[in-house]
Amino acid sequence: MHAAVAVAAVGRWRIGGAGAGCRLVKAGLRRRRVGLTGSSLLSGLTGVCRVKTLGAMDRSPTFPKLESPVTVPASEMRYVPARLDMAAGRAAVERAVREGFLRPFDIDSAEIEPPRPLWVPFWRVEVSAEGFHVNFENVTLGSKGPAIPIPTGGARYKELAVVIPARTSFPYEAKLPSLFARVSGTPPLEIPAGELVANPSVETLTANDAEIVDADVDRARAESMTTELMLRSVSPTHAFYSTYKPKIRSAELVLYPVYYARYTYSGEARRRPSEELFVAVSGTTGAVISAKHPSVARAVAAKVRRYLSFDLRR
């Protein structure tokens, strides 16, 4: 098994070279070899020499590193290229926090932390399900005739790609892609197969001091979660008999670019003091992946009170 050489120090990641004999950028740093199994996702990239210089250890990781994260061989890892630079990421975060009718009228008072560029691990699982179900409906013959049970039902087939978060503490709820999911609340994250790129370079993953989030959901658990979601989707709620068999077609661990920012808000729509709010937007599209905002009910109620009192401020 190949191993990567990691150089422990403090600060920003810089590339010092490749292979076990890579040159240290700064003298006096201690070396340690990191094997592929049990290492972080970045350590799993073979032939990488990582150097940290003074500065970045002041900032604690958004999601703490794990002692034994879930890893896959670097050759099997995929990633989705980021299309938004830091300026565009900050703008997307600002829009997600401040824009929208359901935001409080005083949302401009919110203080947003600088967005952090993350590579968040997700399992992209392609699954299909087919089967049939049988039910009975009573049909009345004539106006006063007896009710006769008539069998109903049919066969169904469905296939799709489901995105499962590979880090349990990342605030994303897995949902099946559907028209209803797209128009109700935050739509589910969808990763088209055509966007996947193999063998991400270290330069790509460490640009802008990006943080790579460790995974703690293995493939078996991701497939189990996907199967459960699919069965709930295709199986009728009240069927006399149903049988559906899901089939996992593929599962890939994908690093997805995310701009993540926490923010504070102390206005009229807050639920409680020091409430933790956040927004996570896609580094590819700028769309919101997950968010926690001030109370919608309180925000709307405050706006209604101001309109009724002829206070036309936002």
Q: Environment class of residue 285 by beta-carbon count within 10 Å: exposed (0-12), middle (13-18) or buried (19+)? A: middle
The pTM assigned to this predicted structure is: 0.74
Query: Can you point out the beta strands (E) in 90-186?
Result: 111-112, 116-140, 147-165
Contact 44/4 with Cβ under 8 angstroms?
Answer: yes
pLDDT means per 10 residues, the chain with 314 residues, are: 32 31 33 34 42 45 93 87 95 93 85 95 93 78 76 82 96 81 73 92 87 96 94 77 86 96 86 85 96 82 73 53
Neighbours of 12 (CB within 10 A): 14
Q: How far apart are the first and last CA of the chain?
A: 61
For every residue of 206-251, which 3-state class applies, written as one string?
HHHHCEECCECCCHHHHHHHHHHHHHHHHCCCCCCEEEEEEEEEEE
- How far is the C-alpha of 288 from the C-alpha of 244, rounded, in Å? 33
- Locus of tokens 């020091």: 274
Model pLDDT, residue 64: 93
Residue ranges of domains in the chain: 1-59, 60-308
- Number of H helices and E strands in the chain, helices first, is 5, 13
